[in-house]
Amino acid sequence: MPFNSTSQEHSEGFIRLSLAAPFLQYLTERKINPQSALDQVGLKAELLSDPSVFVHSELVYGLVNTFSELSGDRYLGLHVGETFDLQGWPPFAQALQSTTSLFEFFARFVGLVPQESNSVRHSLVIEADRATYRIERQQEPTVPPVQVTAFGAAIYVRLLQTVVGDSWNPSRVRWESRYITGLPINYKGIEVGLGPDSGMQISFPVEWLFLLHVSEGSTKPLASPRQDEEVTVVAALRSVLRDKLDETDLGSERVAGLLGIQPDRFLKALQQQSTTLPREIKRLRVDVAKKHLREDKMTIAEIGLMLGYSDKSHFTRFFRGQTGMTPTKFRLGA
C-alpha cells in the first residue's frame, strides 16, 4: 500500500536553494570560508538564505560536495544533518504537530515535502512486516549527490527516531542508497546497504507505524505553511531573474547557467510546461512592474530602467501592449 508525494508531471529537477543553507551555516560556525566553493557555481552567499530562489538540484549537489572537499570533512552531509533544526523545517513541524502516530505523520509528511523540491518523489510503502519510506530521484543525476544523500540519511534517521520515541531500536532499521560513501557502515547502529538506484530508502518494522507519538515541538509555535509557487522551471527562472531584468543577455545559455542546468535540458523543461523563455521573461517584467507601481515611490522611468528599458516611452509601450493600459493609469487605479 503506497502513499506518494507527487506525480511525475513536473519533474524537471529543481530545488529550493536554501536547502543548502545549513551547510553554509555549518562551515561558517567552524570558521571555514566557503567563498571558493560559491565562486565555482557563481552564487552569492546571501542567496542561500532566500527561500524563494530555486536552482537545478545538481547545482546544489555539486556545491555541497565542494563544501565537503573544502572542509576536509568526508562526512559533512551527516554532520550537517545531525545538527539541522528539524523543528524549524516546515514539513516536519507541521506533520508532527498535526498527527498522533507514525502512520499519520508519514501520510501527512509526503504531502508537504514537495514544497521543497520537485527533484525527488517521496513514498511510503507498507508490507506485511516492514514499512519503507522511499525518496526516488526523478532524473538520473550527472553530479553524484554524495553529501546530499548523507544529509538525508541523518535527517531521516533522526526523524524516525524522534517520532518512534522509546520504541526506537536501530538494529531493526535498514537504510539503502547507491551513494553510501558519505556515511560509515553501521551508522548510528542501523544497517547500511548499497541500494540499486540514486535515491534512498529507510525501512523499519511495520508495527512502528501504529505507535502513538508525542510532539516534541508542542512548546514551539507551529511553522506557517509556505505559500510559494509550485517548484517548476518557471518558478525557478523567475526566482533567479527577478533582479537581472535590466541585463541585455537573458538568453537560454545565460539563464540555464544561473539555474545550474544544461541549456537543452532547460529548454526541454520549458517545453514541457508549454511555454518559452521570452514569454516568461515578458510575464516576469509585467509582474515586477505592477508590484513597483503598486507598492513604492519609484518613478515610471526608474521602473522601466530597472526592467531594461532605457526610456520611459519604450517601457510605456511595452506595458500597455501587455496589460491594455499605461503605467500611469495602472498606478492611479491600483
Which residue type occupies 297? K
CATH of the domain spanning 2-210, picked from 3.40.190, 3.90.1520, 3.30.70, 2.30.30: 3.90.1520
The pLDDT score that the predictor gives to residue 11 is 52
109 compared with 226, residue with greater pLDDT: 109
Every domain of the chain and the residues it spans: 2-210, 233-333
Quick one: average pLDDT of 50-70? 92
* Length, in residues, of the chain: 334
Quick one: average pLDDT of 48-60? 89
Quick one: average pLDDT of 89-114? 85
State yes or no: pLDDT of 273 exceeds 50.
yes
Classify 106 as helix, strand or coil: helix
Quick one: average pLDDT of 149-175? 92
State yes or no: pLDDT of 139 exceeds 90.
no
The pLDDT score that the predictor gives to residue 166 is 87
Distance, in Å, from the CA atom of 113 to the CA atom of 91, rounded to the nearest integer, reads 6
The per-residue pLDDT for range 175-209, each reduced to its tens digit, is: 999 999 999 988 999 999 999 888 999 999 999 99
> pLDDT tier at 233 (50, 70, 90 boundaries)?
confident
DSSP assignments along 42-61, one per residue: T--GGGGG-TT-EEEHHHHH
146 compared with 121, residue with greater pLDDT: 146
> pLDDT tier at 12 (50, 70, 90 boundaries)?
low
Classify 2 as helix, strand or coil: strand
Q: Angle at Cα 161 formed by Cα 155 and Cα 163, nearest 5°?
A: 100
Distance, in Å, from the CA atom of 261 to the CA atom of 26, rounded to the nearest integer, reads 26
State yes or no: pLDDT of 154 exceeds 70.
yes
Q: Please tell me what DSSP assigns to residue 198.
A: S
Quick one: average pLDDT of 246-270? 89
> pLDDT tier at 230 (50, 70, 90 boundaries)?
low
Average pLDDT of the residues of the chain: 86
Distance, in Å, from the CA atom of 44 to the CA atom of 55, rounded to the nearest integer, reads 13
Distance, in Å, from the CA atom of 312 to the CA atom of 10, rounded to the nearest integer, reads 38
Among all chains, which residue has been given the C-alpha cell 559533512?
Answer: 76
Predicted structure pTM score: 0.76
The per-residue pLDDT for range 276-334, each reduced to its tens digit, is: 999 999 999 999 999 999 887 889 999 999 999 988 999 999 999 999 999 999 988 86
Q: Over pLDDT 90: what percentage of the chain?
A: 51
Q: Please tell me what DSSP assigns to residue 32.
A: -
Instruction: Give me the CATH code for the 233-333 domain, please.
Output: 1.10.10.60
> pLDDT tier at 3 (50, 70, 90 boundaries)?
very low
> pLDDT tier at 115 (50, 70, 90 boundaries)?
low
State yes or no: pLDDT of 225 exceeds 50.
no
Quick one: average pLDDT of 82-102? 87
Q: Over pLDDT 70: what percentage of the chain?
A: 89
State yes or no: pLDDT of 150 exceeds 50.
yes
Quick one: average pLDDT of 8-16? 65
State yes or no: pLDDT of 140 exceeds 90.
no
The pLDDT score that the predictor gives to residue 226 is 46
> pLDDT tier at 227 (50, 70, 90 boundaries)?
very low
